[in-house]
Amino acid sequence: AFTNGFTKHTKQECLDIAIVGGGLVGSLAALHMAKKGHKVSLYEYREDIRTAELVIGRSINLALSVRGRKALKEVGLEDKLLEHGIAMYARMIHNTDGTRNAIPYDRRNHQAIYSVGRKYLNEVLLTAAEKYPNINLNFNKKMVGGKVDKGEVTFIDTTNEEKKNIFADLIIGCDGAFSSVRREMLKRNGFNYSQTYIEHGYLELCIPPAADGGFQMPENYLHIWPRGKFMMIALPNQDRTWTVTLFMPFENFDSIKSSEELLKFFEIYFPDAIPLIGKERLVKDFFKIPAQHLIAVKCRPYHISSKCVLIGDAGHAVVPFYGQGMNAGFEDCSILTELFNKYGSDLEKILTEFSETRWIDAHAVCDLAMYNYIEMRDLVNKKSFLMRKALDDF
Ligand code: FAD
């Protein structure tokens, strides 16, 4: 699968690229850079996800949409992911009286978003990366510092505490919302950064398969229980389960202290979900781990010198309500590839243009994601005059 991607550039060197973080964006970035013919070393803090237990606390499945699909297609993986994914053509709204109504995403062309498993997606990307002779995967390597403007990173091997410095022509920081690469950039002049924790958290529950092994709800939908100040959503999984996510202000989570209070809360707001989840499982899963925080991150520029750049959540973490965090991170990989096509291996030009152009969309997605929480939990069920007119026009 090793192809030399150099075509018509003036400056064409095989670069040594170090990728920090082997999550969704890091493993896809490795594929994009290797496809361009560069030598890629990926360093991931955790053990290899393909042999690890499921990590509790991160979303189990995600909605893959057109931005993410394009970036996967560019490394030949779109079809594989779509085969695994479950198409969701509409939102299915659950009302408190037990009725449901569907709101299609695209009445005209019937386009869908796809529910894909986070672990499966990460595994597919890492397995594809392993097939490239110019990608070297390193697990249990935690970045602990470095002079990123000079292309230097310090890692600790978490299995034996050994410290090692590596040097690269380019460091790509893909180490998520709490990025260590970004922390180093923060120490330099001219780097702007802001983070916002919202006052709402999330907690994951599960709807098991039906007794006959099928889905308990119609599967080609993103199910939503909008309740004004809070909401619950459910996305389908390949094993016929549903990952259910409850988004709510922390004060509401904190007010539910016993199984009686929890069941009472569900009887008022989500009565149809109780038999789907099952009382026992609901209580067990709700109290298993505390509600998780949600953070949004904006920064600018995304690069420092011609040696280091941030992509994915490391550069622009967004709240999950627009289903675009991973998709936007995948799009970063497409954009970097386009810039490598345009400028060969002239990193100064590549990184400068990435920083100057990418922030506009990244900041917009961040703001739209904040807004879409209000849309999903409240407005989705309210027909404005314009919405009603638009629907009537179809
Ligand atoms: P991460 O997935 O956070 O990966 C970062 C990697 O870096 C990890 O593997 C980590 O172990 C590693 N790392 C961290 N620190 C270090 C270090 N010091 N050294 C080495 N490695 C390190 N997005 C969508 O597009 N659609 C959705 O439907 C969607 N749903 C979501 C639902 C929820 C509840 C949440 C919380 C998020 C959702 N997102 C969704 C957002 C999506 O999860 C993120 O945008 C995506 O995971 C970002 O990928 P990433 O690789 O940039 O970061």
Closest ligand 1 atom to 312 CA: 52
Q: What ipTM, to 2 d.p.? A: 0.99
User: Are residue 26 and residue 154 in the same domain, yes or no?
Assistant: yes
Count how many domains the chain has.
2
pLDDT digit string, tens, across residues 58-83: 568 999 999 999 999 999 999 999 99
pLDDT at site 243: 97
Three-state DSSP at 6 gives coil
User: Are residue 207 and residue 69 in the same domain, yes or no?
Assistant: no
Of all protein residues, the one whose alpha carbon is nearest to atom 41 of ligand 1 is: 325
CATH number at residue 81: 3.50.50.60
Tell me the CA–centroid distance for residue 342 and ligand 1, in Å: 28
Is the Cβ atom of 46 under 6 angstroms away from ligand 1? yes
User: Are residue 187 and residue 307 in the same domain, yes or no?
Assistant: yes
User: Are residue 20 and residue 157 in the same domain, yes or no?
Assistant: yes
Q: 213-222, 292-301, 377-386: which range is least confident on average?
A: 377-386
| Domain assignment present for 98 | no
pLDDT digit string, tens, across residues 227-286: 988 999 999 999 999 999 999 999 999 999 999 999 999 999 999 999 999 999 999 999
Is the Cβ atom of 327 under 6 angstroms away from ligand 1? yes
| Domain assignment present for 95 | no
Of all protein residues, the one whose alpha carbon is nearest to atom 31 of ligand 1 is: 320
Which of 19, 20, 24 has most ligand 1 atoms within 8 Å of CB, for mutation? 24
Model pTM above 0.90? yes
Question: What would the mean pLDDT of 305-327 be, rounded to a whole number?
Answer: 96
User: Are residue 137 and residue 276 in the same domain, yes or no?
Assistant: no
| Domain assignment present for 213 | yes
Domain range holding 266? Answer: 200-286
| Domain assignment present for 4 | no
The model's confidence at residue 349, banded by pLDDT at 50, 70 and 90, is very high
Closest ligand 1 atom to 202 CA: 34
> Hey, CA dihedral for 35, 66, 316, 289, is it positive or negative?
negative
Which of 59, 114, 182, 310 has most ligand 1 atoms within 8 Å of CB, for mutation? 59
User: Are residue 164 and residue 306 in the same domain, yes or no?
Assistant: yes
Q: Can you point out the beta strands (E) in the chain? A: 16-20, 39-43, 61-64, 86-88, 90-94, 100-104, 113-117, 135-138, 141-145, 152-157, 163-167, 170-173, 192-197, 200-207, 221-226, 231-236, 242-249, 295-300, 303-304, 308-310
User: Are residue 167 and residue 248 in the same domain, yes or no?
Assistant: no
User: Are residue 218 and residue 242 in the same domain, yes or no?
Assistant: yes
pLDDT at site 390: 44
Tell me the CA–centroid distance for residue 23 and ligand 1, in Å: 6
Closest ligand 1 atom to 175 CA: 7
Q: What percent of the chain has pLDDT over 70?
A: 91
User: Are residue 126 and residue 191 in the same domain, yes or no?
Assistant: yes
| Domain assignment present for 99 | no
- Among residues 233, 252, 286, the one where a domain terminates is 286
